[in-house]
A = this chain, B = another copy of it.
Amino acid sequence: DFAKLDHHRALRTGFPEVVWGPGKTFEQIAAILARLSEHNSVAMATRIDPATFEQVRGRLPEVRYYSQARICAVFNPRLPPNQIAGCVGVVSAGTADLPVADEAAVTAELCGAEVLRLWDVGVAGIHRLLSNLSALEQADVLVVVAGMEGALASVVGGLARVPVIAVPTSVGYGAHFGGLAALLAMLNSCAPGIGVVNIDNGFGAAMLAAQILRV
């Protein structure tokens, strides 16, 4: 059998297993989503391109697609939607970081959190961030998404009163090495206490944010 679903995960960790799309056939994705949605309010799959979504929809007409976030979701109408008290602020540095930032935002919404989006406030024009600080103060946890040198995470980390989760993106070129530059910057932030996730891993950042809101 190609998949042993981890049906206890929602019990253990508060959120069901999520399907990682790459390397799976659309039949596998549809089958797993169907099974997961039987006992959960929402089942989701990440890293789904539009063509795969269309194929999955052929099997599973109720699947929904968040195109910028590249997420598929199936809602179980017989169960109440997820609900977590609290607000996740998602902050991104540049326009090219949007797919990753939106993956974080949509995931947090599907987990049941309120989400506040603040896009394109990178440090090259730092007044864009400084003039939005009051908006940021509504969030209970912040997800900072940035490519290139990832400096936004340090600046936000030095200003925030709430936990900061940093997502390096692969946006950049040359000595960026596919996101490595931003990743290393975030791990070495002079603002203490930033939690870092994998390059482009908006999903993981949102899971941690949701976990934090549940504390």
Q: In chain A, residues 159-204, which have Cβ atoms closer than 8 Å to a Cβ of chain B?
A: 159-165, 168, 170-201, 203-204
A130 to chain B, nearest CB (A): 8
9 tightest A-B CB contacts, nearest first: A195-B195, A174-B199, A23-B96, A193-B207, A6-B125, A151-B151, A181-B184, A149-B185, A193-B208
A102 to chain B, nearest CB (A): 10
* Contacting residues, chain B, for A180 (C-beta < 8 A): 175, 184
* Contacting residues, chain B, for A172 (C-beta < 8 A): 188
With A149-B184, A208-B163 known as contacts, the answer to whether A155 contacts B123 (CB < 8 A) is: yes
Is B208 a contact partner of A128 (Cβ separation < 8 A)? Answer: no
Cα of A22 to Cα of B95 in the assembled complex, Å: 10
Nearest opposing residue in chain B for A192, CB measure: B207
Is B215 a contact partner of A188 (Cβ separation < 8 A)? Answer: no
Is B173 a contact partner of A198 (Cβ separation < 8 A)? Answer: yes
Q: In chain A, residues 87-126, which have Cβ atoms closer than 8 Å to a Cβ of chain B?
A: 93-96, 98, 119-126
